[in-house]
Amino acid sequence: MFRALYSCKKNISLFHLNNELLLLGPGAEINFLVDLIGLLDIPKLSSEELKKKIKNNVVETNDLKLMEHENQTFLFHQCRFVPPAELIRALNPFLDKKLNDIDFIPIPSNNVFLIILPKEKVKFFNDIIKVLDRPGKTKNENQNTKNDTIEDITSTSGIKFGEKSIVLIHAVYVPSAELIRALNPFQDKILNDVDLVPIPSNNSFMIISPKEKVKFFKDIIKILDSPGITKSEYEKASESNSAEITSTYDLAFEENSIRLIHTVYVSCNEIIRTLASENKINNKDKFCPLPTTNGILIIAQKENLNNYLILIKKIDIPSVSK
């Protein structure tokens, strides 16, 4: 709170002791700071209140509170699902490092943060903050409502950032940080002009990307953020003589193919280590583990994929009981 006030005061002397303030200065300046305190000094929303709002589907998307004073604009937001510091980190890619004309001031005690910014940028930050500060998606919600967890907010909310599109991913089965790591093999050809911004509190992340790459990200995330296979599901499929028991998803990527394989009995990391130790992985092919769902993302020449699937099936077998 005091840091926010010190950033806003000009011709005012400010003294504080515990939770009491003494302001000395011109009346107009003091009136402004008193109004500012009234906006910042509000109670923190309890987790029970938030859960009730989510349950009743009444999560507000109202505009953020706004004040103007001496050619400065002050935007206020009380975070509901994402902590102030995390939201501020997510907004960093949108800052113009050359101008340095925006100041973010978090107040962790009640999850409020204050933005001091030029008036022409208010609408953009108002809109993007409302989109980012949302609850995450649950597995049951995704299965019951079939909600799309991938939102191109440039299209749906009209939020533009230069020539780039902004895509928000609400992960369901795989932690957002794990999904971002799984995209590392595409660093050179896909991610060279893309920002991946994690928002761990609601298991989401933001992709700021050229428009022509949006379809690739939508396709690959739908593949990666999928549930694994339980032993009971695997055994049931075996009993029904399913033609394909191991879960596989395919996507073409230039001269290579992408396949996600979910293993059942042996961890994905152990399978990758075993194949690597036996020199079974071609140098040009890439294997990326997704430990949460026991998945293996394989980027390989098409003729190698079936061989990898055969090798993995030989390793992914139940242990012999004594």
**Domains along the sequence of the chain with CATH:** 2-132 (no CATH), 139-224 (3.30.1370.120), 231-315 (3.30.1370.120)
Q: Which residue has the higher pLDDT, 124 or 41?
A: 124
User: Among 26-35, 107-116, 169-178, whose mean pLDDT is lowest?
Assistant: 26-35
User: Among 8-22, 78-92, 159-173, 207-221, whose mean pLDDT is lowest?
Assistant: 8-22
Q: Which residue has the higher pLDDT, 51 or 16?
A: 16
What does the pLDDT read at residue 240?
Answer: 44
Mean pLDDT of the chain: 80
Q: Which residue has the higher pLDDT, 56 or 160?
A: 160
State percent of the chain over pLDDT 90. Answer: 24
At 52, is the pLDDT very low, low, confident or very high (cuts 50, 70, 90)? low
User: Among 22-36, 67-81, 229-243, 288-302, whose mean pLDDT is lowest?
Assistant: 229-243
At 11, is the pLDDT very low, low, confident or very high (cuts 50, 70, 90)? low
**What would you report as the CA-atom Rg of the chain, rounded to the nearest whole angstrom?**
25
**CB neighbours of 145 closer than 8 A, spacing ≥ 6?**
none
Strand-pair category, 247-253 with 295-300: unpaired
* Positive/negative CA dihedral, 66, 69, 71, 76: negative
- Cα dist. 74→34, 108, 111, 161, 276 in Å? 14, 18, 16, 21, 56
What does the pLDDT read at residue 32?
Answer: 72
Q: Which residue has the higher pLDDT, 285 or 242?
A: 285
What does the pLDDT read at residue 38?
Answer: 73
At 246, is the pLDDT very low, low, confident or very high (cuts 50, 70, 90)? very low
Has residue 138 got a pLDDT over 80? Answer: no
Assess contact for 268 and 275: CB atoms under 8 A. Answer: no
Look at residue 66 and give its three-state secondary structure: strand
Q: Which residue has the higher pLDDT, 26 or 132?
A: 132
Highest mean pLDDT among 74-88, 132-146, 147-161, 229-243: 74-88
Note every long-range contact of 185-193, with CB atoms under 8 Å and residues 24 or more positions apart, other chains counting.
185/286, 185/288, 185/297, 185/299, 186/220, 186/253, 189/254, 190/216
Highest mean pLDDT among 186-200, 226-240, 260-274: 260-274
Give the E-state strand segments of 232-311 in sequence order: 247-253, 256-262, 286-290, 295-300
Has residue 54 got a pLDDT over 60? Answer: no
Has residue 91 got a pLDDT over 70? Answer: yes
Assess contact for 113 and 87: CB atoms under 8 A. Answer: yes
What does the pLDDT read at residue 198?
Answer: 92
Has residue 247 got a pLDDT over 50? Answer: no
CA distance 315 to 321: 16
Strand-pair category, 256-262 with 247-253: antiparallel
What does the pLDDT read at residue 244?
Answer: 40
Tokens describing residue 143: 């299965």
Mean pLDDT over residues 66-72, rounded?
78
143: left (phi > 0), else alpha (psi -120 to 50), else beta?
A: alpha
Question: Which of 217, 212, 290, 278 minimizes the C-alpha distance to 251?
Answer: 217
User: Among 115-124, 205-214, 215-224, 312-321, whose mean pLDDT is lowest?
Assistant: 312-321
What does the pLDDT read at residue 139?
Answer: 64
Has residue 251 got a pLDDT over 80? Answer: no
At 226, is the pLDDT very low, low, confident or very high (cuts 50, 70, 90)? confident
Structure-token match 């000395």, residue found: 24
User: Among 195-209, 235-249, 265-279, 298-312, whose mean pLDDT is lowest?
Assistant: 235-249
- Cα dist. 84→79, 199, 201, 205 in Å? 6, 11, 11, 16
